[in-house]
Structure 1
Amino acid sequence: MWFLIAVQLFVIVLLFLIGWAIRNMKTYWMISGFENRSKEEQQQLIQNGLPQKIGSLLMTTAVGMVVLLPLHFTSFKYAIEVQFGFMIVFLLGGLIYLSKYEIPKKRKRSYLINSLLFVVIIGFISATMFLGYQDHKLIPKNDSFEITGMYGDEWNYQDIKRVELMEEMPEVTWKQNGFGLSTMAKGYFKVKEYGSSLLFIHKNSSPYLCIELKNKKIFVNGHDSKQTRSWYEQLRKKIK
């Protein structure tokens, strides 16, 4: 948790400093595409207040994230999702609103581009979260077992070297290629003493099933302990 909070604090400080520099120090070159405008367009945008308002938008976003930060110290499970969701929606929505301060001949185009960007990004994130939060299952078959859902696959029993039921999940040190949020982790993560591993984990829901294959380590658990122990027993019978 502390690593995620540190990342969020870094993002908050970065947003605030960039916004402050744009609004108060007039570092308008930090705004994407501003330096490529003609001098006449740059002056018109400054007169309209667009660069200054972009700086204020970044600073306000940072303040909003600070306000939401205490959620991490409550029982609320989705603090990370809420905080970064706020950041994305507030920033993208703010850019759509600020299109009104564009120069008249480019205002309609700015509305269109920012609106399209909003729809694409929000749609992509929503689809990813929907798929990521879909529950996974371990399905034993005659010669193999399958884990369903995102990052799921099928593996042969003959490739299993060891199956272990663990009451505590080893420390996960780094995400390599996966989906890791407050309540779930799926994909490839670095696990202390195990190296690169494939995770299908409901966080804080012991026990955890460790399946060591010839070329891969898998950690998986169900939505409750009964389901996880059932998977463990089914695999043990298959590899005897």
Structure 2
Amino acid sequence: MIIFGLLFGLFIIGIGFFVKKYPETIAGYNTMSTQKKKNVDIESIAALYKKGLVIIGLVIMICSSFFSLLKLLESEAIALPVPLLVGIFILTVLAQKYDHNKRSRFKKRLPVIIVGVIILIVSFSLYYNTRPTNVTVSDNSIEFTGAYGLTIPMVQIGKAELLDNIPEIKMRTNGLRLGGILKGHFILDELGKCRLLLRLPNSPFLYLQLKNGEKIMFNSPDSLCTRDVYNTLKDRLY
């Protein structure tokens, strides 16, 4: 994750220099009529975006590295999207003063409203998807809550094991992978398709194989919790 954060930050910085050199590529401006373009101080907007994107890129690189080194998974997961979204929102607001075209108050605020709504949606999605998976074991079932969670009747469980390591992850087919947070459907070496509810690198890992062939792997940030779930489940099954 730390390498991806650094590369992503450098990519954002590169975009900043690109829009400064080619301001006509800025979204919104490139679709304006020639007359409307005359009322826009595009050079000032380009300079603003360059400065802003460079700052955003540096913040992403610093936060991603810091959180990764401290193994703060939730913080690491938001180190990329949050600075980017908040930064774009601020830049969108500041850029309005360089557009001197006459528009209604609503149309002037529309870009800010759209960006704000997107930030709220993405923020809620990140919050929901990065929350730790909670598990409850009853006499008849085991329930995993949160994103990609499910309830499994005890009679459907064919095998339950506690693993110290997981096979190599080959591919994510449908799910979330942010830092050490893996939720959703992945393809693993040796196991094939598997539903992961993981927070790496915390071991051990609870591995379940259902009678219909479906495979699930879970762990808790607290290793004792994972062991307790396994022991409780083992008592129910055997």
Q: TM-score range by the shorter chain?
A: 0.7 to 0.9
Answering whether residue 52 of structure 2 is matched by residue 54 of structure 1, we say no
Q: Is the 8 A contact 1:100 1:107 kept in 2?
A: no
Q: 1:76 to 1:99 in 2, by over 3 A?
A: farther
Counterpart in 2 of 1:159?
Answer: 156
Answering whether residue 69 of structure 2 is matched by residue 74 of structure 1, we say yes
Whole-angstrom CA distance in 2 between matches of 1:47 and 1:205: 50
Whole-angstrom CA distance in 2 between matches of 1:6 and 1:183: 13
1:17 is aligned, of 14, 17, 34, to 14
Whole-angstrom CA distance in 2 between matches of 1:144 and 1:204: 27
2:207 is aligned, of 207, 210, 217, to 210
Letter matched to residue 99 of structure 2: E
Whole-angstrom CA distance in 2 between matches of 1:200 and 1:42: 50
Counterpart in 1 of 2:28?
Answer: 33
Q: Is the 8 A contact 1:48 1:101 kept in 2?
A: no
Structure 1 residue 117 displacement after superposition: 2.6
Q: Give 5+ residue unaligned stretches, structure 1.
A: none
Answering whether residue 198 of structure 2 is matched by residue 201 of structure 1, we say yes
Structure 1 residue 11 displacement after superposition: 2.9
2:117 is aligned, of 112, 120, 124, to 120
Whole-angstrom CA distance in 2 between matches of 1:161 and 1:47: 64
Q: Is the 8 A contact 1:146 1:152 kept in 2?
A: yes
Counterpart in 1 of 2:231?
Answer: 233
Given the two structures, how large is their TM-score scaled by the length of structure 2? 0.82
Structure 1 residue 232 displacement after superposition: 1.4
Whole-angstrom CA distance in 2 between matches of 1:235 and 1:5: 36
Q: 1:166 to 1:116 in 2, by over 3 A?
A: same
Q: 1:199 to 1:111 in 2, by over 3 A?
A: farther
Higher relative contact order (CA 8 A, sep 6+): 2
Greater CA deviation, 171-180 or 118-127?
Answer: 171-180
Structure 1 residue 208 displacement after superposition: 0.8
What secondary structure, in the 3-state scheme, does the structure 1 residue paired with 2:39 have? helix
Greater CA deviation, 98-107 or 72-81?
Answer: 72-81
Q: 1:36 to 1:184 in 2, by over 3 A?
A: closer
Q: 1:66 to 1:97 in 2, by over 3 A?
A: same
Q: Give 5+ residue unaligned stretches, structure 2.
A: none
Q: 1:107 to 1:54 in 2, by over 3 A?
A: farther
The percentage of aligned residue pairs carrying the same residue is 21
Answering whether residue 138 of structure 2 is matched by residue 176 of structure 1, we say no
What secondary structure, in the 3-state scheme, does the structure 1 residue paired with 2:38 have? helix
Counterpart in 1 of 2:218?
Answer: 220
Letter matched to residue 14 of structure 2: L
Structure 1 residue 55 displacement after superposition: 3.8
Counterpart in 1 of 2:90?
Answer: 93
Q: 1:16 to 1:228 in 2, by over 3 A?
A: closer
